[in-house]
Homo-oligomer: A and B are copies of this chain.
Amino acid sequence: MNEESFVRQLAASLPQGPDVTVGPGDDCAVLDFGFDELVLAAADQVVEDVHYLASKSSPADVARKLLNRNVSDIASMGGRPTHALVTIALMPVDEKWLSSFHDGLKNEASSYGISIIGGDIASSGKPGHFCSLSILGRVSRKALCLRCNARPGDLLFGTGSFGGSFASGRHINFTPRLAEAQFLAGRFTHAMIDVSDGLLKDSCRMAEASGLALELDLGKIPCASGVSIEAALSDGEDYELLFAVPPSVAEELKNLWPFKDLPLSQFGRFIEGPRGSVSGCDGLPLKIGKSGFDHFHE
């Protein structure tokens, strides 16, 4: 069993109350507290020398990445972020490091209107920095996007370009597609995911969750500058959006797309077929799960 299957199996047996509309397994959990909007919740972490190199990233970079990974998860559900809690384990408890981290976090959170409502700082007992952040958000009921909502015939669209995120430093200095997701959600799509583990893996997750197969049109996938199609498919941490668009609104979407600096591309189609299978990659030395990012990311 691979790590993803193992963790999915564990998650499936966790207790869920009646107010949990969506539990573990999508980019966020969805809670129904009985008011107009739904509440979104997610948690993610950033570990030194796993998610960034200390030699190349400032503490403020680390804080921004930690927050923005989570904001990207809120975005892909169609929501907006509201509150966050942060824990840090580090040794030594270095005031200079913490001050820089704090400034990065504060500035980035302020730009979104996110309240940083609490957390914990502890010794890690050994050298290294381990940061975790939980985020809360809101989404209107009609804008909620789930990875399981793709329908047969829906077209697979994506924002931006793919691959080379680590080499280019984009995995640290990315901008979550929050405004774009809010434009899309409810109007052009109800099925969205952010690309944390690679275009191929994350688009497969949509197909699998939706009980469908996926046809990719490799020739239409926008590769980042200098990046091969293999890397565009399997590199992690693009933090772009993938989403399923009904054919009836695809032309309207292309005409109305207001983000002139960000490419919008259609490069696949969800179809009836073996659940989670992908066609169109024939001849490429790829298999799902090959991605360098096989950590589990709910």
Give A contacts to B, CB under 8 Å.
Answer: 1, 3, 6-7, 10, 13-17, 19-20, 23-24, 28-29, 31, 33-35, 41-45, 47-51, 82-83, 85-87, 89, 93, 95, 98-99, 102, 105-106, 109-110, 113-126, 128, 130, 132, 134, 136, 295-298
Contact = CB atoms under 8 A, between A and B. Distances in A.
B295 A49 contact: no
Nearest to A128: B126
A119 B3 contact: no
Given A10-B99, A34-B35, A87 B132 contact: yes
Report the copy number of this chain in the oligomer. Answer: 2
A115 B45 contact: no
A43 B119 contact: yes
Contact of A15 (B44, B93, B106, B296): B106
A23 B87 contact: no
A117 B16 contact: yes
B298 A119 contact: yes
B115 A20 contact: yes
Given A47-B124, A124-B130, A297-B120, A15 B110 contact: yes
5 A-B pairs with least C-beta separation: A134-B134, A29-B117, A43-B85, A132-B132, A14-B116
A43 B44 CA distance: 13
B42 A114 contact: no
Most buried by B among A14, A19, A125: A14
Contacts of A98: 6-7, 10
Contact of A115 (B16, B34, B51, B89): B16
A134 B16 contact: no
12 contacts: A6-B98, A19-B82, A20-B117, A29-B85, A31-B83, A41-B83, A42-B85, A42-B118, A43-B134, A44-B120, A47-B122, A119-B298
Contacts of A15: 106, 109-110, 113-116
B120 A295 contact: yes
A216 B297 CA distance: 49
Contact of A50 (B106, B119, B122): B122
